[in-house]
Structure 1
Amino acid sequence: MTNLDIVKSTYEGKTSEENGKNLQRYMTSETLWTEAAGFPYAGTYQGFEQIEKHVFARLGSEWIGYNFAVEDYVAAGDKVIAYGTYSGTYKTSGKHFKARVAHLWQLKDGKIVSFEQFVDSKTVNDAM
């Protein structure tokens, strides 16, 4: 698989569970995952278990219909960018949001080395 194919497999599965399994398949215990400063789950996490605990579990429990609609991808060498729009409704406030976002992935030898999120976090925080 190409780097682009690997990244696409983490977004374009039939279910979010399939996307998560593909993500886990291409990560290592050394993979670094950075949520943007200002984002509610900001920080850098290492390995799937930390990402699951600090990001995905919270997205799943705190939001209704949280989604990243990928608009397109840009791939060059060991880097892939996915960009589009986040949306969802925060359970506690009942407020819906949309925010533009880009994800920068770096891969090596068919494995994800790092992920970095760039997002307009104001709209997310306003919904919360």
Structure 2
Amino acid sequence: MTNTPSNLAIIQATYEGTSEENGKNLLAVLAPEARWTEAAGFPYAGTYVGPEQIVAGVFQRLGTEWDGYNAKVHTYLADGDRVAAFGVYSGTYRKTGKHMSATFAHLYHLKDGKILSMEQYVDSHMVQQALTAQ
């Protein structure tokens, strides 16, 4: 029997704690060449490579542009080296003061306990509505 955490446990640890714990856990398991793809239509759309780009391009922006931003997972599915997380984003965009709630799916590919890639699928229309002032 091995004490190595399962791929499912690795991904769960990036969602189930405080924001600080989740961030620490994520940084610990990102491969140096990890590819992180944010969906078209999402404000941070594109592919970020490596922990520095991922943190600067996605997580620092989420932390500074939104109030109460949260990614709450309700379902995980694991199949070998792939783990999917399904849930709901919520938060208030600071520039407009508009709140949003949008469904998402994240598909992770792992190898040897490290995240090689993440691809985001999201209801970007709900997010875009929060970004625009009326």
One fold, TM greater than 0.5? yes
The count of corresponding residues between Structure 1 and Structure 2 is 127
Q: TM-score, normalised by structure 1?
A: 0.97
Runs of 4+ in 1 over 6 A off after TM superposition: none
Q: TM-score, normalised by structure 2?
A: 0.93
- Please give the secondary structure, in 2, of the residue aligned with 1:17: helix
Q: How many angstroms does 1:82 deviate by?
A: 0.4
Q: How many angstroms does 1:48 deviate by?
A: 1.0
What is the RMSD computed on CA atoms of the aligned residues?
Answer: 0.6
Amino acid in structure 2 at the alignment position of 1:78: D
1:89 aligns with 2:72: no
Q: How many angstroms does 1:49 deviate by?
A: 0.7
Structure 2 segments unaligned to the other structure (5+ residues): none
Amino acid in structure 2 at the alignment position of 1:5: A
Correspondence for 2:13 among 2, 9, 12? 9
- Please give the secondary structure, in 2, of the residue aligned with 1:29: strand
Alpha-carbon separation, structure 2, partners of 1:47 and 1:16: 20
- Please give the secondary structure, in 1, of the residue aligned with 2:31: coil
Structure 1 segments unaligned to the other structure (5+ residues): none
Counterpart of 1:68? 71
Alpha-carbon separation, structure 2, partners of 1:55 and 1:23: 13
Q: How many angstroms does 1:28 deviate by?
A: 1.7
Alpha-carbon separation, structure 2, partners of 1:103 and 1:92: 26
Alpha-carbon separation, structure 1, partners of 2:19 and 2:100: 20
1:46 aligns with 2:49: yes
Correspondence for 1:18 among 21, 25, 34? 21
Counterpart of 1:79? 82
- Please give the secondary structure, in 1, of the residue aligned with 2:16: coil
1:32 aligns with 2:32: no
- Identical-residue share of aligned pairs (%): 61
